Structure 1
Amino acid sequence: MKEQGVIFFDIDGTLLNHDKELPSSSKKAIFKLKEAGHIVAIATGRAPFMFEDLRKELGIDTYVSYNGQYVVLNGEVLYTNPLNIPALEELTKVALNNDHPVVFMDHEDMKANVPEHNYINESIETLKIDRFPTHDPLYYKGRDLYQTLLFCPEGTEQQYENGFDAFDFVRWHPVSVDILPKGGSKAIGIKKIVDQLGITSERQYAFGDGLNDIEMLTTVTNSVAMGNAEDKVKAVAKHVTKSVEDDGIVHGLKMVGLL
């Protein structure tokens, strides 16, 4: 057997295609990796409850969720990095005045600060998950939150970026951005896992396609951008594979010598 490696996969646009389906070729490849003794992990901006079915289907119990803010190794929580609640409370007040709703998210659930809004419907529906945020404007009180969704059109997030330096803002949809703790990223979450596992950088791999994958693809030695990734994402990766729709996972694993 080759020396054990650890491979981190983003979900949307990497493991899952545009229709939020897992190509059969990708599923077979992941099981081949596991049979060969490698560790297969997920690194996503999603909440843990948004990909529970996928973890079960693939038999994965190590993951970086919330873009690095909630990290689990072998089914046990390894690292958390919650949001600054007083700053979030202030941001929420500004957002409400702008008719920009927010959704508060912890490791178990998500709650909107307004009863309903078209922006929330439009963006959450694209995830094709079986859960939708219910209304609880005080959900941020007395609990750790690892990410908040701010719903605002492209270009309007600038005022929040300028006014709230406790956070990073990463757009994932034309009307929604992720609010993360300043400096938080998938790369930090991955480092927590690989340090614990003691796996050398030469045996670390990462696949991604989105803007929130840039830090991960920049820092992981064997980085692979999907063919459907944006150009700025491809530019930082060591390798560029085919599109997720065109057996990109299998092709990329062959490129880096794992299949």
Structure 2
Amino acid sequence: MGYKIVFFDIDGTLINEHKEIPDDTVKAIAELKERGVEPVIATGRAPYFIKPLAEKLGIESFVCLNGAYVVYKGRPLYKREIEKGSLEALVKRAAEHDHGLVFEGEHAFFADKEDHPFIVESVNSLKVDQPGYNPEFWKTDGIYQVFLHCESQDEHLYADLHRELKLIRWHPQAMDVLPAGGSKAQGIAALLKELGLTPADAVAFGDGLNDKEMLEAVGFGVAMGNSHPELLPFADFVTTHVDEQGIRNGLVEAGLL
């Protein structure tokens, strides 16, 4: 199979636990481009979180915010905002339990609490700037994703919101909140349609719980050796650890290097 496009998650896939890109990953992406195969970032991160990494790898296209915002060569081509009514219900519930929220828009992100310890810790783990403070941001701007800051024992408090919202844990103190049914796979489908490609033309690499749909949605899904155990059944191939030439070995298995 001559795959034409490869989607790469960031955290735990393109970068390691120290938020560094292994040198061999940089070389492997460069070789992939030389062979005429297009690399695309597919991440839960917002577009303003990934610019330095994308520039270092020479990647111009992104499926961001867990599929809710897609950019192809600098041009936005797909957007899916969370409905205001759903946001209002989430804001009300989080306030009842003093759970901090971070609202992610197209160009900026803001928290509804100042110096909330869970917000500080989770955002610091991404090695990005802390959000500004604007609890009304969700009312005035399009919101594509929210960070909900609560521990696992409190997840049940949001169970009745699942008809409208999808929650995925990515940190001990934080969850991604997406539109119901949202996933990276939706954004990938929009990009493939734009390019006239089919899922069979695509490969995807991931390591986390938010990568399940993505790995199933492409012709060849690769789970990193450091993946969450629950991701492995969704992969066609399990490569080595991100720091052990995981990207290169997966691309070799796919016949791309």
Q: TM-score, normalised by structure 1?
A: 0.96
1:33 and 1:40 in contact (8 A); partners too: yes
Match of 1:48 in 2: 47
1:206 and 1:216 in contact (8 A); partners too: yes
Cα distance in 2 for residues equivalent to 1:138 and 1:91: 13
Cα distance in 2 for residues equivalent to 1:22 and 1:205: 20
Match of 1:128 in 2: 127
- How far the C-alpha of 1:3 sits from its partner, in A, is 4.9
Q: Which amino acid aligns with 2:60?
A: D
- How far the C-alpha of 1:126 sits from its partner, in A, is 0.7
Cα distance in 2 for residues equivalent to 1:94 and 1:179: 13
- How far the C-alpha of 1:161 sits from its partner, in A, is 2.6
Match of 1:195 in 2: 193
1:161 and 1:168 in contact (8 A); partners too: no
Match of 2:103 in 1: 104
- How far the C-alpha of 1:177 sits from its partner, in A, is 0.4
Cα distance in 2 for residues equivalent to 1:204 and 1:87: 33
Cα distance in 1 for residues equivalent to 2:221 and 2:157: 33
- How far the C-alpha of 1:116 sits from its partner, in A, is 1.6
Q: Which amino acid aligns with 1:220?
A: V
Cα distance in 1 for residues equivalent to 2:124 and 2:29: 27
Match of 1:64 in 2: 63
Q: Which amino acid aligns with 1:177?
A: M
1:161 and 1:167 in contact (8 A); partners too: no
Cα distance in 1 for residues equivalent to 2:72 and 2:241: 29
Cα distance in 2 for residues equivalent to 1:256 and 1:68: 23
- How far the C-alpha of 1:164 sits from its partner, in A, is 4.8
1:87 and 1:164 in contact (8 A); partners too: no
Cα distance in 1 for residues equivalent to 2:200 and 2:222: 14
2:101 and 2:111 in contact (8 A); partners too: yes
Cα distance in 2 for residues equivalent to 1:202 and 1:7: 11
1:3/1:227 Cα in 2 relative to 1: closer, same or farther (>3 Å)? closer
**3-state SS of 2:152 partner:** coil
Correspondence for 1:156 among 154, 158, 174: 154
- How far the C-alpha of 1:201 sits from its partner, in A, is 3.2
Q: Which amino acid aligns with 2:122?
A: S
Cα distance in 2 for residues equivalent to 1:201 and 1:68: 15
**3-state SS of 1:156 partner:** helix
- How far the C-alpha of 1:4 sits from its partner, in A, is 6.0
Cα distance in 2 for residues equivalent to 1:102 and 1:74: 31
Which residues of structure 1 form unaligned runs of 5+?
Answer: none
- How far the C-alpha of 1:240 sits from its partner, in A, is 0.4
1:4 and 1:39 in contact (8 A); partners too: no
1:68/1:125 Cα in 2 relative to 1: closer, same or farther (>3 Å)? same
Q: Which amino acid aligns with 2:22?
A: P
Which residues of structure 2 form unaligned runs of 5+?
Answer: none
Q: TM-score, normalised by structure 2?
A: 0.97
Mapping for residues 1-259 of structure 1, pairs under 5 Å: 3=2, 5-129=4-128, 131-259=129-257
Cα distance in 1 for residues equivalent to 2:146 and 2:239: 31
Cα distance in 2 for residues equivalent to 1:182 and 1:54: 29
**3-state SS of 2:90 partner:** helix
- How far the C-alpha of 1:194 sits from its partner, in A, is 1.0
CA RMSD of aligned residues (A): 1.3
Q: Which amino acid aligns with 1:29?
A: A
Cα distance in 1 for residues equivalent to 2:28 and 2:64: 22
Cα distance in 2 for residues equivalent to 1:106 and 1:173: 20
**Number of aligned positions between the proteins:** 257
Query: Which structure 1 residue ranges, 4+ long, deviate > 4 Å from structure 2?
Result: none
- How far the C-alpha of 1:200 sits from its partner, in A, is 3.5
2:162 and 2:180 in contact (8 A); partners too: no
Cα distance in 2 for residues equivalent to 1:13 and 1:238: 18
Cα distance in 2 for residues equivalent to 1:135 and 1:87: 21
- How far the C-alpha of 1:99 sits from its partner, in A, is 1.1
Cα distance in 1 for residues equivalent to 2:138 and 2:35: 43
**3-state SS of 1:169 partner:** strand
- How far the C-alpha of 1:142 sits from its partner, in A, is 2.2
